[in-house]
Structure formats: structure tokens, C-alpha cells
Amino acid sequence: MSETSVLQVESLTKTFPSGGRTLTVIDDVSFSVNEGDTCSIVGPSGSGKTTLLGLCAGLDQPTSGRVELCGVDLTPLDEDERAEVRNRNVGFVFQTFRLLPTLTALENVMVPAELRGDADPRTRAADLLDEVGLGDRLDHYPTQLSGGERQRVAMARAFINRPRVLFADEPTGNLDAETAGRIEDLLFELNETAGTTLVLVSHDQELAARTERILHLRGGQVVDDEQVSEPAGVA
């Protein structure tokens, strides 16, 4: 485990106007995550989990405070500059898969590498799909795939740029229990093989227990920072 911090969050606050008053969704949150660590963010619905993840990844900007991601202070950057940092360093897995319906599985996986300007991402994309068990589904479109298969495509896409940090937002939230278990195993296997830092949001305590650290969020504040002595690991 490295002691090099890849994510530093300092006094992060996010507010929104709501019905003539100010709604505080994230309230003075500070923490850091070291390279290669696995960390989950848990809390009840409405506690600010997804908002916090989006701020950490530079998908949104805080009202105050700062985020440093892979050595880059995101605070002064505009959206294009933050997108460049994400494409160099970050992979995403979302609850809703977010695949492009007009592209095949192979083409969906290739998208981040093409945006980065890689010369020939096709071979790596095919290798990743084979690694997630979809080597025979390269030319299938998302509508031709099951929910579990679509999430496998999304995970292959997340790893195409060899990210330093993987952000996962309820990665099994749309899947049945049996499929979710297989996807969880695959996520941790891929992450361990790649040595990627994992930050995930989940309402699932069993999934959270597979990470080394659990941040408990309530009312937009971190109310507990739990170090898991023996993560459940890969089943």
C-alpha cells in the first residue's frame, strides 16, 4: 500500500438554492485517499454520497473547499480542463451503465481511449472485454446485452485508459443479487490486478465491507471514518 495521496479533499462544501433558502448537501468534508487503497462512501438516501463522489471526480465544482486529484488542484480549472484530468487519470462505473446505444460493446469500450488520442485502442478494448467474459460479444449493442453484461462492458471501458483512480457509483444497484455478486467479484479482481485506487458509493453494507476503509456520511458530513481490519475481499 502506497502512502502517496491520489485524492485530497479539504473543507469541501456544496450548497444549492432551494425554495428561497440555501440547502447544504456537503458540509465541510475533509479526507484523503492513498494510491492503491480501496474506500467506500456509505450513508442513508439523501446524505450526499453521489454529490461527494461527483465533486471528488471533478464532475461538479464545490461551493467552497478544494479537491486535489492525482496531484492536480481541480479548484481553478474550467470544465474542459477538469475533463482532461479525468480522461488521463480516472475511470467511472455508474449504476445506470451509461453506454452509448448506437455503439457496439467494443466501440463503447474504445471511446475513452479514442478521446485521449490513442493510436489503436481496438486490441486493448477486445482484450479487456475478453477479461470480463465478453470476448464473444464484441459486436453486440447494449440492447442485445443483459444488465450484468452491460455493466461488464462499462467496467472494461473504465479500465481502458489504465486509470489511477476508479470511481464507482452504486455499481450493482440495478442488478439482481446473484448478478451483483459476480459483478462485485469482477470489480475487485480488475482493480487489484491493475493496482487502481477504488472509491465507491454504495448503500450496500456488504459491498462496502469489501473495501479497506468506509466513510460514513450523514447530513452531508463524515460522521465516521472506519478502517476495516480485514476486508471481505474477493469471494
- DSSP annotation of 208 reads H
For residue 155, the enclosing domain spans 5-227
What tens digit of pLDDT does each residue of 153-198 get? 999 999 999 999 999 999 988 888 888 898 999 999 999 999 999 9
> In Å, how far are 83, 131, 199 from 103, measured between CA atoms?
22, 20, 28
- Is residue 233, in this structure, part of any structural domain at all? no
Cell (9 digits) for 121: 485502442
Q: Residue 11 carries which side chain, given as an amino acid letter?
A: S
Residue 203 CB coordination number (10 Å): 14
Q: How far apart are CA 227 and CA 231, in angstroms?
A: 9
Residue 235, pLDDT > 60, answer no
Residue 2, pLDDT > 70, answer no
Q: How far apart are CA 68 and CA 75, in angstroms?
A: 8
Partners of 177 in the β-ladder? none
- Is residue 235, in this structure, part of any structural domain at all? no
- Is residue 145, in this structure, part of any structural domain at all? yes
Residue 233, pLDDT > 80, answer no
What tens digit of pLDDT does each residue of 103-147 get? 999 999 999 999 888 888 999 999 999 999 999 999 999 999 999
Measuring CA to CA, which residue among 208, 215, 209 is closest to residue 48?
215
Q: How far apart are CA 85 and CA 58, in angstroms?
A: 9
Note the pLDDT of residue 1.
Answer: 43
Residue 29 CB coordination number (10 Å): 23
Q: Looking at the 3D structure of the chain, how many domains does it have?
A: 1
Direct distance between the N- and C-terminal alpha carbons of the chain, in angstroms, rounded to an integer: 21
Note the pLDDT of residue 20.
Answer: 86
- Is residue 232, in this structure, part of any structural domain at all? no
Q: Provide the CATH number for the domain around residue 18.
A: 3.40.50.300
What tens digit of pLDDT does each residue of 71-88 get? 999 999 999 999 999 989
- Is residue 21, in this structure, part of any structural domain at all? yes
Q: How far apart are CA 172 and CA 158, in angstroms?
A: 15
β-strand pairing of 197-201 with 38-42: parallel
Note the pLDDT of residue 228.
Answer: 86
Note the pLDDT of residue 115.
Answer: 86
Residue 232, pLDDT > 80, answer no
Q: How far apart are CA 202 and CA 88, in angstroms?
A: 25
For the segment 17-29, the average pLDDT, to the nearest whole number, is 92
Q: How far apart are CA 165 and CA 199, in angstroms?
A: 7
pLDDT, mean over the chain: 92
- Is residue 191, in this structure, part of any structural domain at all? yes
Helices (H), 43-201: 49-56, 79-89, 105-116, 122-131, 147-159, 177-194
- Is residue 42, in this structure, part of any structural domain at all? yes
What tens digit of pLDDT does each residue of 7-19 get? 999 999 999 998 8
